């Protein structure tokens, strides 16, 4: 079986967990956390990381296997990663580092590489954008480089790219797949919130108000101004879509609690009425580790995008985006998105 050659932009916590995840899956017991041990004939171990970009001193110039554990990354170590022979290359900083990140890291002094050329040389078939959520300009700039290099794009960030009609058209014209935006975690607050609302409304319950609050200790959570405005719109839309009627929904308010490290606390509150107009309230707290939460979904997306490449499908691939992301070009009910994804991967 051919390897799936993947490039990574942003070697932060999510990239750390993803690279480790591929090696973790070599242990058969690890398959307990995966919905699709084999997808389109591919196993997670068939994924090969061939190119990586960052800007921070301590990551740039180091082998990817070491850079994933360099500060300020605080993702847990759950797998041994052998030396990969892939040196992290320096891209342009642009708006990549928020105020908090600039206080705790320094920008590497080496010169910037030609990103499109390095992607071409590496043989990457697809590239995952794992830049900080606030790095909107940088995300759009890298998307241009990915297109120039002739690779598929997986946008895990909340910057609107894959769900934008003009990027959809440009990738379609180039014969390349594009999926996104804003990855939906395996056991994330958005997913759990949607499941709860969907189940209640399908039993005839009338939900009138609901909200979701989040606190985390990653650099992303520190970027309240730049990330959480756009993210609140994305998360609110995603949660609203779980109800077949209008309710007051707010999701995505957040705060930064540094000592939580890579852990995240999400509080979900739901209020409404059931039979006879009786009122009820639900309060839930979800405590998770952020970075491994993205991995199983990313492993599915990478293998599904490989299928898209093999079939010559291009532009926004809705069955992948609706299943794995909070903001696809069209938000579908969870069960319909899962069914569409299954049909797509089975062909």
Ligand X SMILES: NC(=O)c1ccc[n+]([C@@H]2O[C@H](COP(=O)([O-])OP(=O)(O)OC[C@H]3O[C@@H](n4cnc5c(N)ncnc54)[C@H](O)[C@@H]3O)[C@@H](O)[C@H]2O)c1
What minimum distance in Å lies between the beta carbon of 173 and ligand X?
Answer: 26
Residue 319 CB, nearest distance to ligand X (Å)?
19
Please say which residue, 62 or 207, places its beta carbon nearer to ligand X. Answer: 62
Q: Which of 157, 210, 221, 266 binds ligand X (CB under 6 A)?
A: 157
In whole angstroms, give the CA distance from residue 69 to residue 77.
8
- The nearer residue to ligand X, 183 or 337, going by C-beta atoms, is 183
| CA nearest to 64, candidates 22, 97, 104, 96 | 22
Cβ proximity to ligand X, 159 vs 272, nearer residue: 159
Nearest residue (CB) to ligand X, 6 versus 55:
55
Range in contact with ligand X (rule: CB under 6 A) among 31-39, 155-163, 166-174, 303-311? 155-163
Nearest to ligand X of 9, 196 (CB atom): 9
Shortest distance in whole angstroms from residue 217 CB to ligand X: 11
Closest CA relative to residue 178, chosen from 148, 149, 146: 146
How is residue 267 written in tokens?
A: 């509080």
Contact 255, 224 (CB under 8 A): yes
CB 197 within 8 A of CB 144: no
Residues 6+ away with beta carbon under 8 Å from 80: 23
One residue of 6, 8, 11, 126 binding ligand X per CB under 6 A: 11
Window 39-58: residues binding ligand X (CB under 6 A): 53-56
Question: In whole angstroms, how close is the CB of 122 to ligand X at the nearest point?
Answer: 15
For 194, the 3-state DSSP assignment is helix
Question: Longest Cα pair distance anywhere in the chain, in angstroms?
Answer: 68
Of 177, 216, 218, 252, the one binding ligand X (CB under 6 A) is: 218
Residues in 87-116 that interact with ligand X by CB under 6 A = 91-94, 96-97
- Alpha carbons 163 and 178: distance in angstroms, whole number: 9
- 27's CB contacts (< 8 A; 6+ apart) are none
Give Cβ neighbours of residue 156 (< 8 Å, ≥ 6 apart): 14, 128, 129, 130, 180, 182, 183, 294, 298
Q: How far is it, in rounded angstroms, from Cα 135 to Cα 7?
A: 18
The 228-257 contact track toward ligand X, x by CB under 6 A, reads ------------------------------
Residue 231 C-beta: closest distance to ligand X, Å: 7
* Contacts with ligand X, 172-201, as mask; x by CB under 6 A: ----------xx-x----------------
Which listed residue (4, 6, 14, 127) binds ligand X by CB under 6 A? 14
Record the tokens describing residue 303, joined without a space: 């293998």
Q: How distant, in Å, are the alpha carbons of 12, 83, 85, 249, 291 from that of 68?
A: 7, 12, 14, 37, 12
The footprint of ligand X (CB under 6 A) covers 9-15, 53-56, 91-94, 96-97, 130-133, 135, 138, 156-158, 182-183, 185, 218-220, 290-291, 293-294
């Amino acid at each position: 079986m051919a390897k799936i050659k993947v490039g990574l932009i942003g070697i932060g916590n999510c990239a750390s967990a993803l690279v480790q995840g591929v090696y973790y899956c070599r242990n058969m017991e690890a398959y307990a956390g995966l919905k699709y041990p084999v997808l389109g004939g591919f196993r997670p171990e068939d994924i090969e990381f061939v190119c990586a970009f960052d800007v921070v001193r301590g990551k740039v110039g180091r082998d990817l296997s070491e850079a994933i554990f360099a500060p300020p990354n605080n993702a847990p170590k759950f797998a041994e990663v052998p030396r990969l022979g892939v040196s992290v290359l320096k891209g342009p900083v642009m708006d990549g580092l928020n105020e908090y990140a600039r206080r705790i890291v320094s920008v590497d002094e080496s010169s910037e590489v030609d990103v499109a050329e390095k992607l071409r040389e590496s043989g990457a078939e697809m590239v995952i954008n794992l830049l900080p959520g606030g790095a909107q300009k940088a995300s759009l700039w890298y998307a241009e480089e990915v297109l120039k290099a002739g690779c598929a794009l997986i946008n895990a960030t909340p910057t609107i790219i894959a769900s934008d009609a003009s990027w959809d058209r440009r990738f379609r014209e180039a014969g390349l797949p594009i999926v996104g935006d804003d990855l939906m975690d395996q056991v994330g607050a958005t997913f759990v919130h949607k499941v709860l609302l969907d189940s209640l409304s399908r039993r005839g319950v009338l939900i009138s108000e609901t909200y979701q609050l989040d606190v985390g200790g990653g650099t992303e959570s520190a970027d309240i101004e730049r990330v959480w405005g756009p993210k609140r719109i994305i998360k609110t839309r995603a949660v609203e879509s779980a109800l077949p009627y209008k309710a007051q929904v707010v999701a995505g308010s957040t705060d930064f609690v540094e000592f939580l490290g890579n852990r995240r606390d999400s509080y979900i509150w739901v209020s409404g009425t059931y039979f006879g107009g009786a009122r009820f309230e639900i309060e839930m707290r979800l405590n998770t580790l952020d970075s491994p939460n993205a991995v199983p979904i990313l492993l599915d997306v990478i293998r599904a995008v490989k299928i898209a490449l093999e079939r010559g499908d291009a532009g926004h691939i809705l069955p992948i985006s609706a299943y794995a992301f909070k903001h696809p070009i069209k938000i579908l009910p969870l069960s319909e998105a899962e069914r569409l994804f299954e049909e797509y991967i089975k062909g």
